[in-house]
Amino acid sequence: MTSAEERPARLKVGVVGAGRVGAVLGAALRSAGHQVVAVSGVSKASRRRAAELLPGIPVVPVEEVVAQAELVLLAVPDDALTDLVAGLSATRAWQAGQLVVHTSGRHGLDVFEPALPFHVLGLAVHPAMTFTGTAMDIDRLADCCFGVTAPEPLRPVAEALVLEVGGEPVWIEERHRALYHAALAHGANHLVTLIAQSMEALAAAGVTDPHRMLEPLASAALDNSLRAGDAALTGPVARGDVGTVAEHLRQLEPLSPDIRATYVALARATAERALASGRLRPTAAEPLLDILASDQER
């Protein structure tokens, strides 16, 4: 990432939403040589984050951020983005030729439709990373892919912005935007739930440091999965060990109900994928799927 000392600022950047993503990307753009001129934030956490990551930058209402910026970064929740763009369009807040970048994974360019009469240049640039909202995230951008969707003439602009903050641009077609986001949410957000459930079960089994026990196993499983996909599968489901799976279900019964339900759903999906790929024989899969199906019907 190029430092501010190595090249002069080129765009006046306004950050709408000093959440975990907005404050970090604003700081990264600032480090890359752009001039962050204003940021919006309502909650105490957002204002604190702006003060920490964008020191000296005034926190002002959204309309003032847009009025001062050549590049507007819209870093708000997915469900809030449509209303935000529509509201700024209704109040005629946009400036002709203004670059407007949103960070939503779900949305593509369709969300900019209300702003098109004002001749804004809309880009969808989504970082495929989980954010803490701290300075450590800026360094993580160097190993981060960004899902980019833009009008073809603006594709080099969107990709250049990603490269400037140290990321890798990955082109996502407009029609695949929601599927792209669903895939990331399934792989990352649900992983958090799965690991938390596993640590809860380990604690119930008397393990005093579930994190220490699980980390090497989970890290290896993740690495193997990324390298080999379904071929990395091991464990009782892949072997068709019906008795072991049945005992697991009995042991999970007293714990939080969501843990057992998640185990059943994932074991069933694992068995079906193992069966389809030939890793699990039909004779072994049938009793396994039966016991999982009967548990779901409880």
Q: Dump pLDDT digits (tens) for 81-108.
A: 999 999 999 999 999 999 999 999 999 9
Residues 86 and 201 in one domain: no
Sheet with 145-149, edge to edge strand ranges:
35-40, 12-16, 71-74, 99-102, 121-127, 145-149, 168-171
Contact 34, 71 (CB under 8 A): yes
Contact 197, 262 (CB under 8 A): yes
- Kindly tell me if the per-residue pLDDT of 221 is higher than 70: yes
Residues 138 and 225 in one domain: no
For residue 137, CA distances in Å to 1, 26, 212 come to 13, 12, 24
Predicted pLDDT of residue 298: 61
Residues 159 and 213 in one domain: no
* Tokens found for residue 156: 């080099």
Residues 241 and 111 in one domain: no
β partners of residue 126: 147
SS3 assignment, position 189: helix
Domain final residue, candidates 118, 150, 172: 172
pLDDT band at 23; cut points 50, 70, 90: very high
β partners of residue 102: 74, 124
Q: Give this prediction's pTM.
A: 0.89
| pLDDT, average across residues 250-273 | 95
Domain final residue, candidates 123, 142, 172: 172
| pLDDT, average across residues 245-257 | 94
Predicted pLDDT of residue 279: 87
Pick 290 or 298 by higher pLDDT: 290
pLDDT band at 17; cut points 50, 70, 90: very high
**For residue 36, what are the contacts with CB-CB under 8 A and spacing of at least 6?**
13, 14, 15, 26, 27, 29, 30, 54, 57
Residues 148 and 30 in one domain: yes
Pick 122 or 3 by higher pLDDT: 122
Residues 135 and 197 in one domain: no
Rounded mean pLDDT of the chain? 93
| pLDDT, average across residues 201-230 | 96
Residues 80 and 221 in one domain: no
Q: Dump pLDDT digits (tens) for 133-192.
A: 999 999 999 989 999 999 999 999 999 999 999 999 999 999 999 999 999 999 999 999
- Kindly tell me if the per-residue pLDDT of 109 is higher than 50: yes
* Domain limits for position 236: 180-296
| pLDDT, average across residues 108-121 | 97
Closest CA to 59 of 46, 77, 76: 46
Question: 3-state SS of the chain: helix, strand, coil percent to 5?
Answer: 60, 10, 30
SS3 assignment, position 146: strand
User: Where is 53: in which H helix or E strand?
Assistant: helix 44-53
pLDDT band at 295; cut points 50, 70, 90: low
User: Where is 263: in which H helix or E strand?
Assistant: helix 257-276
SS3 assignment, position 169: strand
Q: Dump pLDDT digits (tens) for 24-74.
A: 999 999 999 999 999 999 899 999 999 999 999 999 999 999 999 999 999
Q: How far apart are CA 144 and CA 223, in angstroms?
A: 17
Residues 8 and 124 in one domain: yes
Predicted pLDDT of residue 2: 46
Q: How far apart are CA 240 and CA 270, in angstroms?
A: 11
- Kindly tell me if the per-residue pLDDT of 255 is higher than 70: yes
- Kindly tell me if the per-residue pLDDT of 4 is higher than 50: no
Quote the number of domains for the chain. 2
Q: How far apart are CA 73 and CA 23, in angstroms?
A: 10
